[in-house]
Amino acid sequence: MATTPAISEEVLAKYEPVIGLEVHVQLLTASKIFCSCSTRFGDPPNTNVCPVCLGLPGALPVLNRKAVEFAVLAGMALNCRINETSIFARKNYFYPDLPKGYQISQYDKPLAEFGFIEIPVQGGAKKIGITRLHLEEDAGKSLHEGFPDAAEKTAIDLNRTGVPLAEIVSEPDMRSPDEAHEYLTRLKEIILYTGVSDCNMEEGSLRCDANISVRPRGQKEFGTKTEIKNVNSFRFIKQALEYEIERHVGVIESGGKITQETRLYNANEGRTYGMRSKEQAHDYRYFPEPDLLPLVVDEDWQAAIRAGLPELPEARRKRMMKDYGITAGDAASLTRTRGMADQFEAAAQAAKNAKRVANLVQSELLGRLKGRGLELEQSPVSMAGVAASADLVESGAISGKMLKDLYDLCFERNKDFPAVYEEDSRSWPMR
Ligand code: ADP
Ligand code: ZN
Ligand code: MG
């Protein structure tokens, strides 16, 4: 696979990249946003459809309450102001996977606005503004394989049509592909903590469009941007941005002008291609959706939703460093998922020395899991098992060397630490 070269020093000395991201996350409701069809992934094509999501004449949308609550929760987690009243709008365009000829979205009155995410940067943190978070329905999917005549025809699967999405639009606040990567990592982590989406990029439940421009350093106005659509991993987004920055600078330096357009990234070739000229908002002929009332999320409803907001990753890292005396690095890896943090805390509280538990997770558990491509859920040694091993070291019952051997045996036998310790300690020559 071709790899995109990182951006050269000369380019960065002269030009400053400006990046803004638009992220769609699929909300984890059981049914679609305006009808009761299932949102299940992977069902046979066109089995989860009804007159509403097919856009048949006379069918009326009914808003899914859970989708609203999930979107509001995400908005709160992203430090947004929740608008008590927001308005659904029709975004009109023609595409084979859009049966109604319009998508129900939100336009000038979105559900949430003015948020931010903090990303770590050299020597501190930087706030990336979140312009808005709004609710909308997904479109269907074009199929190019897996059915008879696939060589000549494109088929349409409308199971995804009407699945609820939250679109999260950032301010053009990022200044490098690394910052964009960091923003996406944080955003995904926060959304996963709230539980409103599984953020599974392979299944399309997290999708990102990246907007990029460059300007001569010192210039205040932004340059003309291009938009890179539907790149399917964070690493590829970073690579696509690096490529695109070099391309912009090349065009400008040779006296040309960047055309505002939508581009596609080909990861195999490591380059982007022009796809179409960018639509302007007026091309969509937005107008208020006449079949839906304004969405009102009053104070009481907001308070009830806010009560379900979990402790978020950044706050949790800080608290855990204080509560357990662990390092920033340990806290970062122990809070990668909410499940891991929960399990660690339970184990750390049960153990004699929480810090030792954190150390052993790092030194004995995570490396072995990574080496075998296992997730924590698949680990033979549970967090409780790590805590038990920490207590044995703490009390002097086993040495550091024995500890390592026992961890090896746990992974060999696919058994948890206490079990292997029981089995094996009897045969040990020394105690
Ligand atoms: P459009 O109307 O073309 O959709 P928006 O102003 O709605 O543009 O912005 C879409 C996304 O593009 C946002 O994430 C925003 O931060 C980003 N963006 C806007 N202008 C620029 C620019 N000059 N360079 C890079 N990103 C930009
Ligand atoms: Zn339906
Ligand atoms: Mg826009």
55 CA to centre of ligand 2 in angstroms: 9
What does the pLDDT read at residue 427? Answer: 63
Identify the weakest region by mean pLDDT among 247-251, 261-265, 426-430: 426-430
Token reading at 63: 């808003």
pTM for this entry? 0.92
Given a cut of 80, is residue 426 above it in pLDDT?
no
Q: Which helix (H) or strand (E) covers residue 102, if one does?
A: strand 102-106
259 CA to centre of ligand 1 in angstroms: 14
Instruction: Report the pLDDT averaged over residues 52-64.
Output: 96
**Average pLDDT in the chain:** 94
Instruction: Report the pLDDT averaged over residues 114-118.
Output: 98
* pLDDT confidence tier of residue 2, bands split at 50, 70 and 90: very low
* pLDDT confidence tier of residue 5, bands split at 50, 70 and 90: low
Region of 7 please: left (phi>0), alpha (psi -120 to 50) or beta: beta
Given a cut of 90, is residue 225 above it in pLDDT?
yes
Give the pLDDT confidence of 286-337 residue by residue, as tens digits: 999 999 999 999 999 999 999 999 999 999 999 999 999 999 999 999 999 9
211 CA to centre of ligand 1 in angstroms: 6
What does the pLDDT read at residue 280? Answer: 72
Instruction: Report the pLDDT averaged over residues 83-90.
Output: 98
Given a cut of 80, is residue 285 above it in pLDDT?
yes
CA distance 310 to 272: 39
What does the pLDDT read at residue 430? Answer: 47
Share of the chain above pLDDT 70, in %: 97
CA distance 5 to 242: 7
* Nearest atom, ligand 1, residue 170 CA: 14
Given a cut of 60, is residue 347 above it in pLDDT?
yes
CA distance 286 to 90: 5
Minimal CA–CA distance to 129: which of 183, 58, 65, 190? Answer: 183
Torsion 269-270-276-277 (CA) sign = negative
Could you tell which of 24, 128, 211 is best to mutate to test the pocket of ligand 1, judged by most ligand atoms within 8 Å of the CB? 211
What does the pLDDT read at residue 4? Answer: 46
C-beta 129 within 6 A of ligand 1:
no
Looking at all shown ligands, the one closest to residue 258's CA atom is: 1
C-beta 212 within 6 A of ligand 1:
yes
Give the pLDDT confidence of 368-414 residue by residue, as tens digits: 999 999 999 999 999 999 999 999 999 999 998 999 999 999 999 99
Give the pLDDT confidence of 142-183 residue by residue, as tens digits: 999 888 899 999 999 999 999 999 999 999 999 999 999 999
